[in-house]
Amino acid sequence: MPRPDPRTALQNLLDEVRQTLPFDMPAAQVCNGICSGCSKKLLDYLDCELLDWQQRLDDGEVPGLGDLDRLGRTCRKVYRVLERNGLVGSKV
């Protein structure tokens, strides 16, 4: 199976992150219980990053492999914090 072009790969990443992380979870639920890093601030930050990249894609920008790698690493780091806080993964 051929690899997707960088624009398609980034769009797939944006879609997957939007489906995986609880961006629409109420703040009271996000900030309830275990807190190993501020889940709300991390979700807000990542939401801004995703919106920025979506706008850039819509404007026709072609991301580089470094852009994909950086965003992917950021998403994984946020996911791990949310997982430790019990908001995603098997703990939900």
Q: Is residue 4 within 8 Å of 13, Cβ to Cβ?
A: no
pLDDT 10s digits, 14-47: 999 999 999 998 887 777 766 777 888 999 999 9
The pLDDT value recorded for residue 34 is 67
**CA atoms of 40 and 28, how far apart (whole Å):** 10
DSSP labels for the chain?
A: -PPPPHHHHHHHHHHHHHHHS-TTS-HHHHTSS--SS-HHHHHHHHHHHHHHHHHHHHTT----HHHHHHHHHHHHHHHHHHHHTTSSGGG-
Choose between 30 and 82: higher pLDDT: 82
